[in-house]
Amino acid sequence: MNGDGVVKDERKVAGKPEENEYEYEEEQRMLEELGMYKGKVRLVSSEEPTEETMLLWGIQQPTFSKPNAFARQTSLQLRVDACGRTLSILQSPSNLGTPGVTGSVMWDSGVVLGKFLEHAVESERIHLQGKKVIELGSGCGLVGCVAALLGAQVILTDLPDRLRLLKKNVEANLYGDVRGSATVNELTWGDELDNDMRNPLPDYVLGSDVIYSEGAVVDLIATLLDLSGTQTTVILAGELRNDAILEYFLQAAAEDFTIGRVDQTQWHPDCCSPRVVIYVLVKKQRKL
Ligand SMILES: C[S@@+](CC[C@H](N)C(=O)[O-])C[C@H]1O[C@@H](n2cnc3c(N)ncnc32)[C@H](O)[C@@H]1O
């Protein structure tokens, strides 16, 4: 592993470029693991993030598939089977009309990320038992609840006035025999962090559908940086709605993070969508 948390498949990079230069370059892009994620990711070029969005929109064609494949945003309750139980996530669809309120219902990338975590733990690509996890922009809280059921000590966070529904969902779903634990805290991206968030720094930072507004990108990255130590792995899932915003995020984040895209073959088989993407980010280690 090098200083950027990167492990390359030595068998592949050892060979000389052969007749097919494109295939060779693609192989070079494939990492065997990134940070604490022990699965294959495709490295996003820090020089050309445009290439990433062109690939995603050109190959996955997200606009041709229907939104809300997994989230039912009009219902008051969303049921999701995960970790041997049925989670029942309360939603407040009527609040979605309030300007700036987005977390009162679940979004597809949240369901995808929750199920991805379950699958990644089962496949031993991630270990969450006893790990400190901070979730950003938790909304209704499905992802953080799944992480707690998988053994993590989770802090679910959101804007200060969005915590009521989140707390209700944590209380309603984390009953009985839970391998980990969960607490709910306010956290506004870009703000100074409470001591208990940074001491110690988390093993994992999670976020689903948190890259959707250009205005919030700088603050979001500032918080990701504040929360990232040498052992921290960030996992973000997002919905492919706007290539310009994703590109802006990737360009800015690539200055400080090594970014890899998780192939859909490693997602939960029941929860894949061409409209969603999952990235693993690891803070680059600066040489002194
Ligand atoms: C689209 S929702 C996604 C909610 C949830 N993660 C999901 O996948 O269903 C975005 C979430 O980010 C939160 N958020 C937006 N801007 C924020 C900021 N500046 N600081 C903290 N949280 C923010 C919102 O309140 C909301 O819960």
* 63 CA from centroid of ligand 1 (Å): 22
Q: What is the pLDDT of residues 218-231, one digit of tens each?
A: 999 999 999 999 99
Q: What is the pLDDT of residues 216-263, one digit of tens each?
A: 999 999 999 999 999 999 999 999 999 999 999 999 999 999 999 999
| Level-2 CATH architecture, domain 45-283 | 3-Layer(aba) Sandwich (3.40)
* 104 CA from centroid of ligand 1 (Å): 9
HEC sequence for 15-76: CCCCCCHHHHHHHHHEEEEECCECCCEEECCCCCHHHHHHHHHHHHCHHHCCCCCCCCCCCC
The model's pTM: 0.93
Q: Which residues contact 276 (CB under 8 A, 6 or more apart)?
A: 108, 109, 112, 237, 238, 239, 240
Pull the structure tokens for residue 30.
């494939």
Confidence of residue 11 (pLDDT cuts 50, 70, 90): very low
Question: Of the residues 95, 107, 159, which should be mutated to test ligand 1's pocket, given the most ligand atoms within 8 Å of the CB?
Answer: 159
* 211 CA from centroid of ligand 1 (Å): 9
Taking CA atoms only, the protein residue closest to ligand 1 atom 15 is: 137
Instruction: Return residue ranges of the chain for CATH 3.40.50.150.
Output: 45-283
Spell out which residues line ligand 1, taking CB within 6 angstroms.
102-103, 106-107, 109-110, 137-140, 158-159, 162, 187-189, 208-210, 212, 216, 219
Q: What is the pLDDT of residues 15-73, one digit of tens each?
A: 555 667 878 888 888 998 999 999 999 999 888 889 999 999 999 899 888 888 899 88
The answer to whether 204 and 143 are in contact (CB under 8 A) is no
Taking CA atoms only, the protein residue closest to ligand 1 atom 20 is: 188
Which atom of ligand 1 has the smallest separation from the CA of 111?
8
Taking CA atoms only, the protein residue closest to ligand 1 atom 23 is: 137
Q: What is the pLDDT of residues 169-211, one digit of tens each?
A: 999 999 999 999 999 999 999 999 999 999 999 999 999 999 9
Q: What is the pLDDT of residues 102-141, one digit of tens each?
A: 889 899 999 999 999 999 999 999 999 999 999 999 999 9
